[in-house]
Homo-oligomer: A and B are copies of this chain.
């Protein structure tokens, strides 16, 4: 059995060539393949045109050990991947009674009449292993082509994923004899990409630049570390990498293989049986949204107030009119009063207060667009920070939401020590 080391992805669908939609199936394919030691060397996207699909399949089969084709297997006349693949292999499609029966059965179970056009999905390629679709109707295919492997899956992400994990990955795992490419993601918050890059540069020589990927969003940076070999070797190497990167990055690291900053905070608070509430002005609910994205957040998160107006800051958060008059809504004293006010109102252990000018309007010389004040009130007092963020409204809001969560994260870190 030859090993499969390289792969190419071909996404079929005219909608993927316009200005609105990208192929994301290939991300899942690349991740799953990396786990069994297969590297993607090329991606292509073509429209629902038989000739173009045929040409791409032919040339990719010559370039990679494995070709994964997604899309164009449905019942409509647009869906021509089946025919195109048959032509690329020089084989004739054959009507498969077994497939037809399975499709009819599926509609029977759904209690729906089967549209006539569904019979198009019952044609198979001689020599192909036909793959029942665990989450839909269109079957997939696995075909051995002169030592190379051709996988053809539906384009619907959930169906594609199920087929990938059910039919392709286990076989590759056996074929490649346990050789993997494992990854570990370090989550950092309160830092910017270029500063992280400068600090980790000295480690590139030791671990290989190609084994480190930096993904940045406002206020949060992810470092994806990669290592190949047997599962054991890869894990040992990743441990070594994690230690080296943590040594350089210190307290900016939130954690390893942590999904989100909010998720980590909730986990810590749950462990301590402490609770949280939020008072948001410029972020308008974004922090609450980030927190409640996490399943089970209701154990820790009591709720919050979105105090867009000054009246709401006074009535629902007990921010005193004097503070608002003397310092304005966007100020250190207001942010502190909001954090402490929401903490008191909800009877929570922790309170976050945030107020700023997200723009594009509302800025002044003294308080420009992008100025945000945030504060975290905790069992041992309140801390505050502020910054003028660059970028548009969405960036200012994301930056400031993440930095407010980061302040809480660092206060929790300190108390843990």
Q: A residues touching B (Cβ–Cβ < 8 Å)?
A: 14-24, 26-28, 30-31, 34, 39-47, 49, 52, 56, 59, 78, 183, 209-210, 213, 215, 224, 278, 280, 282-289, 291-293, 295-298, 301-309, 311-312, 315-316, 345-347, 358-362, 393-394, 397
CA distance A282 to B295 in the complex (A): 11
Interface of A is mostly: mixed
Q: A18, A24, A291, A362: which has the most chain B beta carbons within 10 Å?
A: A18
Asked if A306 meets B288 with Cβ closer than 8 Å, knowing A42-B17, A44-B42, A312-B346, the reply is: yes
A-B contact pairs, 15 of them (CB 8 A): A18-B224, A20-B224, A21-B27, A41-B46, A42-B56, A283-B292, A285-B289, A288-B306, A292-B306, A292-B358, A295-B359, A303-B306, A305-B316, A312-B346, A316-B345
Q: Are B284 and A301 interface neighbours, CB within 8 A?
A: yes
Interface residue from B42, B292, B315 paired with A46 (Cβ < 8 Å): B42
Q: Are A14 and B210 interface neighbours, CB within 8 A?
A: yes
Q: Are A295 and B18 interface neighbours, CB within 8 A?
A: no
Residues of B near A309 (CB, < 8 A) are 298, 302-303, 346
CA distance A284 to B302 in the complex (A): 10
Distance of A301 from chain B, by nearest CB (Å): 5
Residues of B near A298 (CB, < 8 A) are 308-309, 362
Residues of B near A302 (CB, < 8 A) are 308-309, 311-312
Distance of A392 from chain B, by nearest CB (Å): 9
